[in-house]
Structure 1
């Protein structure tokens, strides 16, 4: 808008506030290799259970790690303290016991864990640098970036995920469409498929008594998004890895969301991720792909990741789901 008189001409420019916010860069390794995801019931089975896990993981993990040069790959491990939080008897509540046990079990099979993350931080964690700020909620940040397109031939009859708590990759069986004859069954249909469909309905969360509990599948999608450096909170990096000196606390909330365990490892986030997981995790990880396929990342975050990938000497796939790989055993 321009206002002028005989003496001066003043130009007034209006810009969105978000355009002025500084975007923090996320340094990237070539690959982030997840060496496992321990549930509270797994840990409570004792050291033998952890040793069996790393014995099964070791060969597959070394095969992945051997494809890259030193300094290009970081390793990580996710601890499920989220669903164990309501059980005061759960041993996984005590990081001073869990983290040393994980390090020792991994080392006994020739593996090193660079970073340990807590699953509860994928849902929410306190900002370590600002006591007066509300908690940072990666899960809500990711949920706010889901962009759902109605299947072809429908009117968007399903409520959006932020209302329903459900996300799908297509059209559910029997769902109404313009061309349907009343009382005629229609099979489910996957969006974007060439001929045959694999339809999935993914529950993102449920609520009871005003409290939202995020699903295991959705937190796994948040975990992948953090490892890929996709999330920002008002321009700031989310779940920044931090080294921990001294004795470990007995409460996870006293630790950073991601704890760095080794000196000077490659970055926690990476251009690509690989996860070495038991075969029982396949269904959850298929649901992760449904979520990532409908994720819209801010354009300037995409630009930053492209710059960081180039600086690391790696090429960033345009598809988010294409950046995620698995080895199931």
Structure 2
């Protein structure tokens, strides 16, 4: 018999509330806003490739979790870097093409909602306040200490750069005074034989007069993954809860839309034990950066243990390392 403990709204650990969990959250493609502004040919090609893949992954999940496997689908719209577009035009085109291709999208999310969560008001009551989500997660980033560092590299909290290793110049005092030195390659922390070195920019300040960072695509994508895995809390509650969208007309501004909209009334929960992202191959670098960022975010211990315990109650092994709960299928030629 199916265990329904995952639908509990009260935390087993008492301090943090639980969120409903599917077995797998499937991200059904992604486009840059410029792809969505242009014609529908590229959208159709990608969606038509994804439909049979979604069927195959659904059968795989049913083989793993049983015939009643909970699978939800989602799509993230790139409105953070192009807020100047018309939501009605973009979303009618996107969802209309998905319907024509037979692709089910249960939840529609905004990338800007991974940066700042708008206030939610229902029945004249503020249900959840506005939340500076990217800033909140920023304070949970813990860079790995580099023993012997000489201070030449600014700390992550100051620079916005996160590294999975070290460069020789980070440990050589006065290296600039000795230009003729033997080259020493960078070194990945915890490498297995050889290094795969990556330096990720998570934010910058393009406007020096404003104390508002510009968040990078990999950083927002990392927050997107944490939301899909149900791993974030604000004052004990999830910072983003899907809002049922049943209005006939889209607003004129992206910021007037919820961070996550539930389009399918019968959808399984938005968050899940695992995430699967079906993405164009060009996002492989971003997804590598996402995994590095996730490995350096200190999550609430109670939330982690809560999800692990809930998985155990369903005979599902849930890794405490959140990056191990991500899966990807990359589409060549997209």
Q: TM-score range by the shorter chain?
A: 0.7 to 0.9
Structural mapping, 1:83-98, within 5 Å: 83-85=81-83, 87=84, 90=85, 93-94=86-87, 96-98=88-90
Residue aligning to 1:109: 101
Choose from 24, 31, 40 the match for 1:31. 24
Structure 2: how far apart are the matches of 1:239 and 1:60?
Answer: 28
Structure 2: how far apart are the matches of 1:297 and 1:132?
Answer: 24
Choose from 237, 244, 263 the match for 1:261. 263
Structure 2: how far apart are the matches of 1:27 and 1:314?
Answer: 15
Contact 1:82 1:119 in 2 (8 A): yes
* Partner secondary structure for residue 73 of structure 2: strand
Structure 1: how far apart are the matches of 2:76 and 2:280?
Answer: 14
Structure 1: how far apart are the matches of 2:286 and 2:230?
Answer: 21
Residue aligning to 1:77: 75
Contact 1:141 1:231 in 2 (8 A): no
Structural mapping, 1:242-321, within 5 Å: 242-250=243-251, 251-321=253-323
Structure with higher Rg: it is 1
Structure 1: how far apart are the matches of 2:254 and 2:33?
Answer: 13
Mean CA deviation greater in 62-71 or 120-129? 62-71
1:198 aligns with 2:196: yes
Structure 2: how far apart are the matches of 1:298 and 1:216?
Answer: 23
Choose from 117, 125, 130 the match for 1:135. 130
* Partner secondary structure for residue 42 of structure 2: helix
Q: Deviations over 1:184-205 (max 9, x none)?
A: 4421000000221111110001
Structure 2: how far apart are the matches of 1:99 and 1:298?
Answer: 35
Structure 2: how far apart are the matches of 1:181 and 1:156?
Answer: 14
Structure 1: how far apart are the matches of 2:162 and 2:218?
Answer: 11
- Where in structure 2 are there 5+ consecutive unaligned residues? 1-12, 63-67
TM-score (norm 1): 0.84
Residue aligning to 2:7: none
Mean CA deviation greater in 285-294 or 102-111? 102-111
Change (3 A) 1:237 1:194: same
Contact 1:277 1:326 in 2 (8 A): yes
* Partner secondary structure for residue 47 of structure 2: helix
Residue aligning to 2:217: 216
How far is 1:174 from its partner? 2.6
Change (3 A) 1:255 1:267: same
Q: Deviations over 1:111-164 (max 9, x none)?
A: 201100000000002221465986312211221111112234436653332211
Q: Deviations over 1:273-300 (max 9, x none)?
A: 0100000001111100110111211111
Mean CA deviation greater in 293-302 or 99-108? 99-108
Contact 1:33 1:75 in 2 (8 A): yes
TM-score (norm 2): 0.83
Structure 1: how far apart are the matches of 2:278 and 2:110?
Answer: 17
Mean CA deviation greater in 204-213 or 63-72? 63-72
1:176 aligns with 2:168: no
Residue aligning to 2:6: none
- Where in structure 1 are there 5+ consecutive unaligned residues? 1-19
Structure 2: how far apart are the matches of 1:259 and 1:323?
Answer: 23
1:45 aligns with 2:59: no
Residue aligning to 1:161: 156
Change (3 A) 1:81 1:113: same
Residue aligning to 2:10: none
